[in-house]
Structure 1
Amino acid sequence: MFVRIVKMGFHENNIEAFLNNFNDNKLKIRNFKGCLFLELYRDKINTTTFFTYSYWETEADLERYRQSKLFKDVWAKTKPLFNIKPEAWSVEKLESLE
């Protein structure tokens, strides 16, 4: 398993459109084969900055999602809303304390 973190910044007037698109697709993304977990965060200071955290069984599962019609449709609606270039990291979870 690994974690995918994506940082996105939006123009203020595009946030509602982003959130609507996310809400319309979040269950489809979460239920995509290999996706184990999905969360959306918003920066408390810079409220135009958002992060998604998703857990994937394998890198191949994430790559299948990235090549899917679902991803292409979601990304096509999200990309024009950005005010900064998005950043993404694939990280390995080493430890988790609850």
Structure 2
Amino acid sequence: MLIRIVRMTFAPEQVPAFLTLFHATKQRIRQQPGCRHLELWQDAESPNIYYTHSHWDNETALNGYRKSALFGEVWPATKRLFSAPPVAFSSHSVTVVE
């Protein structure tokens, strides 16, 4: 499984527009092939910073979403609201054997 976290900083006045967009599209994103989980986090100290936390079957599934018409609709609309470049990273869960 691939875990994807994207940190997004918005102009404070753009936060309501982002939340409207996220809530309007979150179910469609969750229904993308290979998407197992999607949630939105808000930074505890900076209320204009949000994170998407998603789980994908693998990188191929994530890239499939990134090439989809839905992503082509959601990402440009989201990017217009940023006040700083986004920061994204992918990771894998590690099981520690004791």
Q: Which bin holds the TM-score, normalised by the shorter protein?
A: over 0.9
Cα displacement string for residues 5-46 of structure 1 (whole angstroms, at most 9, x for unaligned residues): 000000000000000000000000011000000010001110
Gaps of 5+ in 1: none
In the TM superposition, what whole-angstrom CA distance separates every residue of 1:33-68 from its partner, at most 9, and x where no partner exists? 000000100011101100000000010000000010
Normalized against structure 2, the TM-score is what?
0.95
Aligned length: 96
Secondary structure of the structure 2 residue equivalent to 1:93: coil
Paired letter, 1:6? V
Q: Hey, what does 2:90 align to over in structure 1?
A: 90
1:58 aligns with 2:43: no
2:49 maps to: 49
Structure 2: 5+ residue stretches without partners: none
Runs of 4+ in 1 over 3 A off after TM superposition: none
RMSD: 1.1
Secondary structure of the corresponding residue to residue 28 of structure 2: helix
Q: Which amino acid aligns with 2:59?
A: E
* DSSP-derived class of the 1:81 partner: coil
Alignment-mate amino acid for residue 19 of structure 1: L
What is the aligned-residue identity percentage?
Answer: 40
2:76 alignment partner AA: A
Question: In 1, distance between residues paired with 2:94 and 2:14?
Answer: 35
Normalised by the length of structure 1, the TM-score is 0.95
